Amino acid sequence: MSHHDGMMSNFIQAACIREEAMARRTINLPDSVDALVKEISGQDESYSATVSRLILEGARTIRGKRRPSYTGTGEGPEDLGRLAETYLRRLAKSR
């Protein structure tokens, strides 16, 4: 088996194909936090993936749910969300 056929080579190639952008950071964790990360990590989940997941879950808990960026301002008919296509079709026919 050449060095090109190894598992890490396959992983790196797969990550490059998916074109996921990832920031690479070095952080210092107390031993107690390190032990917690190792305890909580999912099966077949990398240490970095566990840390990322825990940060996201913690941030969502603190920040709460955010409204989607596409939420309307409240202007227009109350049923606009359900009947948007109908309204757009009428507008297109009227022009």
pLDDT tens for residues 19-56?
Answer: 567 778 888 999 999 999 999 997 888 999 899 899 98
Q: Give, in order, the Cα–Cα distances in Å from 84 to each of 71, 73, 94.
A: 14, 15, 15
Position 33 scores a pLDDT of 93
What's the whole-number mean pLDDT along residues 63-86? 70
What's the whole-number mean pLDDT along residues 55-70? 80
What's the whole-number mean pLDDT along residues 80-95? 81
For 80, residues 6+ apart whose C-beta sits below 8 A from its C-beta are 72, 87
What is the value of pTM for the model shown? 0.46
Q: How far apart are CA 86 and CA 82, in angstroms?
A: 9
